[in-house]
Amino acid sequence: MFDISIDELLAPLDRLAGTTFQPLRVAVAIVVRGSDVLIVCRRAEDANGLSWQFPAGVIKPGARPAVIAVRETLAETDVHCVITRKLGTRLHPTTGVLCEYVLCDYVAGEARNVDVVENVAAIWVDRADLTRFIPDGQVYGPVLRALDAATDATQRAGSS
């Protein structure tokens, strides 16, 4: 910052030649284990207190969302997972952050709160109970459909 002139610092954004900007992007991991899905309880910075959500991490420029999703899931919950497919991208209706959702299969590990600075808890919740933690209207449609499909597949496998 100290080697930049005051004119450059005060210049309108369109005058900053050669500068590229990236909106804040977050990789969101939807980790399934049978009919369960992994969620974390975040410490909120506002007066609303705590909020439940899926494990997620900021995607820095040049990073791949899938790598961030797997890495952040392990760092926050001690759960190892693998990506099965991308579910889609949206602007989060509450935060305005660009979210990239990936569906993940559970591999190993017990869900526990490893990141005590950001989170209060990490738990598995049955898909049927998810909206007790995260309001239905806040969950991205493709996520709900993927969770329903995973639950259906688990139930079919259990009945055969």
User: Which DSSP state fits 94?
Assistant: T
Residue type, 88: G
Range in 26-30, 42-46, 101-105, 109-113 the model is least confident about: 42-46
Is 3 a member of any domain? no
Q: What is the pLDDT of residues 92-146, one digit of tens each?
A: 888 889 999 999 999 999 999 999 999 999 999 999 999 999 988 889 999 999 9
Is 1 a member of any domain? no
Q: Is pTM, for the whole model, over 0.95? A: no
Provide the domain limits for residue 89: 21-159
Cα–Cα distance, 144 to 149 (Å, whole number): 9
Nearest one of 96, 20, 97, 94 to 65, comparing CA atoms: 97
Is 4 a member of any domain? no
Is 12 a member of any domain? no
E strands, 60-116, are 80-91, 98-108
Structural domain tally of the chain?
1
Is 128 a member of any domain? yes
In this structure, what are the phi and psi dihedrals at residue 149, rounded to the nearest 5 degrees?
-65, -40
pLDDT band at 40 (very low <50, low <70, confident <90, very high): very high
